[in-house]
């Protein structure tokens, strides 16, 4: 299989490329190396991939359709895993235009790429953020997601709708994966695991929003990658039981599916901090703050559909995953 991965220098992108390469596939990585967070970390991730003879990297922005198509015509991938995006809920309040460019224009570019090259399957990253104002947990894919509470969430819901339109119009198999709070080695510095670990290790205070009572379905990166790779080899298909008189949002008469990818073991953020304290052998200095605009109080995944489709679902215990992240953090930073 020849797989093109957008966002290959990203957290999930690097791990996905490693898994596919280990299984003997060819991978072409694409990334614009944006400076949303430390570019040196992105380059260090790429350094884990570039020695592999079946990996090639191209520095380009997916929102440039001409450059992307030129690469595709030369490389001729079978499947696309689209992980490139402008991420971050709170940052979308500061720089909304970055989200419209990367997540909307960029996604149209990827869809057109897949249409023109007759790609066999597009697997793309959605987010648990799409559940927004929905308070019924655990979140299940058949629930409506019409009330996003951040621009980031709105762009991810838009991606799902855009993908469905191409599945309908061009019979392009598309699968959206709603990731739930992914963490692990090589994780993003703006995410909880990295931020908390760094602050606690340096004796600096951490901010706990909603007074530490936020609940998150922390999902270890290896489990997420397993779901992504499983999906690569199981393209979306039309649902024979789809009822157009009572349509559900996660399946279709077209080759389109959406799945939750979460650990299904949600924990309070203060309990996650305790797991980091255990791994570091050091207590945190905690500052309790109110919930922030755009934040969802609780995320929890119902992964029944994922398990039925692939036969597996994420299950790494939080303390085990945190221990592995902290071990990587210490090695990476030489502490």
Summarize pLDDT for 286-310 with one digit per residue, the tens.
999 888 887 778 899 999 999 999 9
Q: List pLDDT tens digits, range 122-178.
A: 999 999 999 998 889 999 999 999 999 999 999 999 999 999 999 999 999 999 999
Q: Are 217 and 303 in contact (CB under 8 A)?
A: no
- Does the annotation mark 37 as catalytic? no
| CA R_g for the chain | 19
CA-to-CA dists, residue 120 to 7, 64, 99, 335, angstroms: 19, 22, 27, 45
pLDDT value of residue 92: 87
Q: Are 252 and 239 in contact (CB under 8 A)?
A: yes
| β partners of residue 139 | 301
Res. 25: pLDDT tops 90: yes
Res. 47: pLDDT tops 80: yes
Domains of the chain: 2-187+220-263+302-315 (3.40.50.720)
pLDDT value of residue 134: 86
DSSP, collapsed to helix, strand or coil, labels residue 151 as helix
Q: List pLDDT tens digits, range 100-115.
A: 999 999 999 999 999 9
Count Cβ atoms below 10 Å from residue 290 Cβ, excluding itself. Answer: 8
| β partners of residue 56 | 28
Q: Which of 30, 94, 91 is nearest to 62 (CA)?
A: 30
For residues 310 and 313, give the distance between their C-alpha atoms in angstroms, rounded to a whole number: 8
pTM: 0.95
* Tokens matching residue 302: 């119902």
Mean confidence (pLDDT) of the chain: 95
Q: Which residue has the higher pLDDT, 230 or 135?
A: 230
**What letter would DSSP give residue 156?**
H
Question: Of 152, 194, 256, 329, which residue is the catalytic one?
Answer: 152
Res. 226: pLDDT tops 90: yes
Q: List pLDDT tens digits, range 260-276.
A: 999 999 999 999 999 99
Q: Are 179 and 125 in contact (CB under 8 A)?
A: yes
Confidence of residue 18 (pLDDT cuts 50, 70, 90): very high
DSSP, collapsed to helix, strand or coil, labels residue 70 as helix
Res. 209: pLDDT tops 80: yes
């Amino acid at each position: 299989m020849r797989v093109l991965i957008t966002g290959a220098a990203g957290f999930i992108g690097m791990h996905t490329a490693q898994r596919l390469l280990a299984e003997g596939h060819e991978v072409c990585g694409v990334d614009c190396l944006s400076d949303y967070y430390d570019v040196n970390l992105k380059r260090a991730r790429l350094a884990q991939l570039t020695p592999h003879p079946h990996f090639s990297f191209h520095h380009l922005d997916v929102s440039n359709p001409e450059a992307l198509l030129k690469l595709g015509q030369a490389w001729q991938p079978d499947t696309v895993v689209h992980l490139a995006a402008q991420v971050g809920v709170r940052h979308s309040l500061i720089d909304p235009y970055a989200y419209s460019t990367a997540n909307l224009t960029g996604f149209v570019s990827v869809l057109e790429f897949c249409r023109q090259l007759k790609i066999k399957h597009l697997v793309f990253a959605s987010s648990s953020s799409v559940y927004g104002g929905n308070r019924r947990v655990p979140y299940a894919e058949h629930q409506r997601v019409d009330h996003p509470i951040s621009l980031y969430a709105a762009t991810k819901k838009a991606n799902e709708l855009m993908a469905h339109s191409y599945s309908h119009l061009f019979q392009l198999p598309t699968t959206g994966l709603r990731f739930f709070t992914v963490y692990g080695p090589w994780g993003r510095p703006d995410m909880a695991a990295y931020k908390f670990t760094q602050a606690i290790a340096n004796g600096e205070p951490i901010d706990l929003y909603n007074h530490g009572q936020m609940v998150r379905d922390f999902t270890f990166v290896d489990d997420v990658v397993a779901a992504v790779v499983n999906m690569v080899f199981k393209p979306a298909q039309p649902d024979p039981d789809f009822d157009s008189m009572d349509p559900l949002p996660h399946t279709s008469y077209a080759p389109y599916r959406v799945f939750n990818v979460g650990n299904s073991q949600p924990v309070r953020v203060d309990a996650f901090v305790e797991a980091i304290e255990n791994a570091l052998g050091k207590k945190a200095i905690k500052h309790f703050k109110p919930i922030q605009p755009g934040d969802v109080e609780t995320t929890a995944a119902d992964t029944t559909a994922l398990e039925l489709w692939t036969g597996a679902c994420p299950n790494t215990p939080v303390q085990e995953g945190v221990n592995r992240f902290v071990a990587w953090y210490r090695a990476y930073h030489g502490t």
